[in-house]
Amino acid sequence: MTLDKMSSTPYNPRYRLQRNPMRLKSGDRAPPFRAEDVDGRSIEVGDGLARPLLLSFLRYASCPMCLLRVDELARAAPSLSAAGLDVVVVLHSPRERILRHTRRSLPFAVIPDPERALYRLYRVEASIQRLILSTLLPSFFARWVAAIRSGHFGGAVDGEIGLMPADFIISAEGRIAHAHYGAHIGDHVDLTSAVTYVPAGR
């Protein structure tokens, strides 16, 4: 992945994902970056976005629950776009593995981040305890079955297995309108209400 950090915040490339980093919140400036998606297109997040953005951090490319979420985002993308909200997904897997597991073109950009630089930038959390607790939830089994029925059977784990998902709705001015840090691996922002965070006039 080509990643050009534009943030003025000091950055330590050896910094590991913390278990409880200080979360970003509504009103904060979205940490700016420039990266390439799996198709080689340059994706830039920062001040002066063309449109508000849903920036969705998932886990690794073969994760069945994550691929189920990719399916949901793909189905919702036309209505989200019509409401003025673009979508960008980040996975902490190499490009080749993402292309292998997504199996089709998607209506949004997918950024490979195997070094998890963007996860650190957006303070995405990792927790083995929450990963274990995820497997005890009734909703976990329902979504797992749905993932299997959709043909997502899992595979090799890339990077840190305890990463939790996170979603950020970013205004066109580069501010976080809503931040959602997943409490478990199936916890994402509700797509039906996501557009309510898009400022009037976009």
* pLDDT tens-digit map of 150-190: 888 888 899 889 999 999 999 999 999 999 999 999 999 99
- Name the percent of the chain lying above pLDDT 70: 87
Q: Determine how β-strand 53-57 pairs with β-strand 86-91.
A: parallel
Q: What domains are defined for the chain?
A: 26-184 (3.40.30.10)
User: Helices 95-102 & 64-82, crossing angle to 10 degrees?
Assistant: 80
The per-residue pLDDT of the chain, averaged, comes to 88
What pLDDT is stored for residue 47 in this prediction? 85
Q: How far is residue 51's CA from residue 192's CA, in Å, rounded to a whole number? A: 18
Letter for the amino acid at 174?
G
What is the model's pLDDT at position 144? Answer: 85
HSE, CB side, 13 Å, CA atoms: give it for residue 131.
12
Secondary structure letter of residue 185 according to DSSP:
T
| 3-47: pLDDT as tens digits | 554 443 333 333 345 555 689 999 999 999 999 999 999 999 988
Helix (H) or strand (E) holding 114: none
Do residues 178 and 169 lie in contact, with contact meaning Cβ atoms separated by under 8 Å?
Answer: yes
C-alpha distances out from residue 35 to 5, 21, 45, 60, 118, Å: 8, 23, 9, 18, 9
Q: What percent of the chain has pLDDT over 90?
A: 67
**Do 67 and 104 touch, CB atoms closer than 8 A?**
no
**What number is the average pLDDT over the span 103-132?**
93
Query: Which helix (H) or strand (E) element contains residue 179?
Result: strand 176-181
The pTM score is 0.87
Alpha helices in 12-110 (DSSP H): 64-82, 95-102
